[in-house]
Amino acid sequence: MSTPGPQETVEIALAAARGDATVVIVERGGDRYLRWADSALVGAGDGDEHRVSVVSVVAGRVGAVSVSGPVDRAEVVGMVHAAEASARQAPPAPDARPLPEPGAASPHWDDPVQAPAPGVLSGLVDQIATGFARAERNGQVLHGYAEHRSRTTFLGTSTGVRLRHDEPAGHLELTARDATGAPVWMNAVTPDFADVSVAALQDELDRRLRWGRRRVELPPGRYECLVPPSAVADLMNYAYTTAGAGAAAQGRTAYSRAGGRTRIGETVAGVPLTLRSDPMAGGLRCAPFLVAASSTGTRSVFDNGLPLGPTCWWDRGRLRSLVHTRDSADELAMPLTPVVENLILEGPPGGGDDADLLARTRRGLLLTSLWYIREVDLATMALTGLTRDGVYLVEEGEVVGAVHNFRFNDSPLAMAMRVTEVGRAVPTRARDWGDAVAHTAMPMLRVPDFNLTAATAAV
């Protein structure tokens, strides 16, 4: 039996439903990727994405079934029956409520899904080949990965919601090594790779390799650090994904205050930092409606189709909002601020670029990225992890050598309170936790006493 299209899949599932409420989510798309090592392409390919999720509500109980891969009409109907059977066996959902009523349907709901252009990475292949030749002339080797993902999400519900979001996204990571063996790393984010210059990335990698020709040993301790945008994205992704209002009101997170209250209204940054989300932000667009195949602390299946708009989380250094479901917003009598799948951190107007912050550094460390980040204590937002692919000593505005890597132990909220200078926000992607919030724009931050607890041999 043939596989129905995504729009038809939604209608088949809803027509077969017999529960009190039903949500159908269909994700379609494709991936293109390249991988290279030791200045040679070692992998290239593509893949198709098919995923169908059905959420059924029966007497305030929730059941859900998800299937990856193409499904035919009979399998779609079977998924609905399985989800309803699961719901009948489930305990009552504490956040149960009617699904949102439909607004205007997406005007392009019926349009066919556009496959990613076959040549989306072809221009990059030529650039990488030129980069290999340049690296060989300079006694270097290149390693890296590039990926382009195209996703279309269809959301249909038994209340009449019919919403669709199309999202192309790409990113590239480029690592260079020379005879010293110490790697240096850069990344880039892009919707289609038309704006990516491998030569410009190599220019910066060459500069960092030159910095590494002089090695400096430093003991662990608290150092003034310039934390670059990608590393800031890792830290802010954690601060955002743990910002559920319900957990905060229950006293379980760093956003909690005694007496079942939250820290909304309190100062959370030492300078006027603004942390916000906006589905329509240029270069960072994400779904303008909520999609949830299962409930978590920051999203509810009962909120599927909820419209999303610009949301301010930190307003000039003060905590303005936490992430709410409709249930937590009603329970805490707070404005509804649902989760949005992008994140932007900005300082006051006029923030300089990374070079400006470097030039104003009397003595400190310039980091490259963070890696292997793990939670230590949810109540304080304490994290531990490693620096990776370059730590550089800066004196009087100039890099004077490379330092070994460190383990760090610190909290994104505690660091935000100690920030003294903020650069200009630029699109970036968290290196370690990039899948948590893929679309981010972050600045470089000056942290006067980043807690580097141990030297490591990791590169």
- The model's pLDDT over 10-25, given as tens digits with 9 standing for 90+, comes to 999 999 999 999 999 9
Residue 283: per-residue pLDDT: 92
Tokens coding 106: 């997406």
Place 351 in a pLDDT band, splitting at 50, 70 and 90. Answer: confident
| Average pLDDT over every residue of 307-336 | 97
Q: Which of 118 and 336 is assigned the larger pLDDT?
A: 336
CB 55, CB 62: distance < 8 Å:
yes
Residue 114: per-residue pLDDT: 83
For the segment 94-117, what is each residue's pLDDT rounded down to a tens digit? 999 999 999 889 999 999 998 777
Distances (CA, A) of 397 to 166, 188, 450: 44, 25, 19
| Average pLDDT over every residue of 216-238 | 97
Which percentage of the chain shows pLDDT scores above 90? Answer: 92
φ, ψ dihedrals at 358, nearest 5°: -60, -45
Residue 47: per-residue pLDDT: 87
Least confident span in 41-50, 391-400, 418-427: 41-50
Place 120 in a pLDDT band, splitting at 50, 70 and 90. Answer: confident
Q: In 3D, which of 448, 434, 456 has the Cα closest to residue 172?
A: 434
Place 459 in a pLDDT band, splitting at 50, 70 and 90. Answer: low
Report whether pLDDT(419) > 90.
Answer: yes
For the segment 257-289, what is each residue's pLDDT rounded down to a tens digit? 988 899 999 999 999 999 999 999 999 999 999
Neighbour count for residue 262 (Cβ, 10 Å): 23
Mean of all residue pLDDT scores within the chain: 95
CB 54, CB 65: distance < 8 Å:
yes
Which percentage of the chain shows pLDDT scores above 70? Answer: 99
CB 383, CB 374: distance < 8 Å:
yes
Report whether pLDDT(337) > 70.
Answer: yes
Report whether pLDDT(135) > 80.
Answer: yes
Residue 308: per-residue pLDDT: 97
Q: Which of 49 and 264 is assigned the larger pLDDT?
A: 264
Displacement of CA 207 from its chain's centroid (Å): 28
| Whole-number Å distance between alpha carbons of 296 and 298 | 5
Place 1 in a pLDDT band, splitting at 50, 70 and 90. Answer: low
Report whether pLDDT(195) > 70.
Answer: yes
Residue 301 DSSP class: G
Q: What is the CA radius of gyration of the chain?
A: 24
Q: In 3D, which of 28, 10, 26, 22 has the Cα closest to residue 81?
A: 22
| Average pLDDT over every residue of 431-452 | 96
| Average pLDDT over every residue of 140-151 | 96
For the segment 355-410, what is each residue's pLDDT rounded down to a tens digit? 999 999 999 999 999 999 999 999 999 999 999 999 999 999 999 999 999 999 99
Place 458 in a pLDDT band, splitting at 50, 70 and 90. Answer: low
Report whether pLDDT(145) > 90.
Answer: yes
Half-sphere exposure at residue 286, Cβ-oriented, CA atoms within 13 angstroms = 21
Place 181 in a pLDDT band, splitting at 50, 70 and 90. Answer: confident
Residue 118: per-residue pLDDT: 74
Report whether pLDDT(253) > 70.
Answer: yes
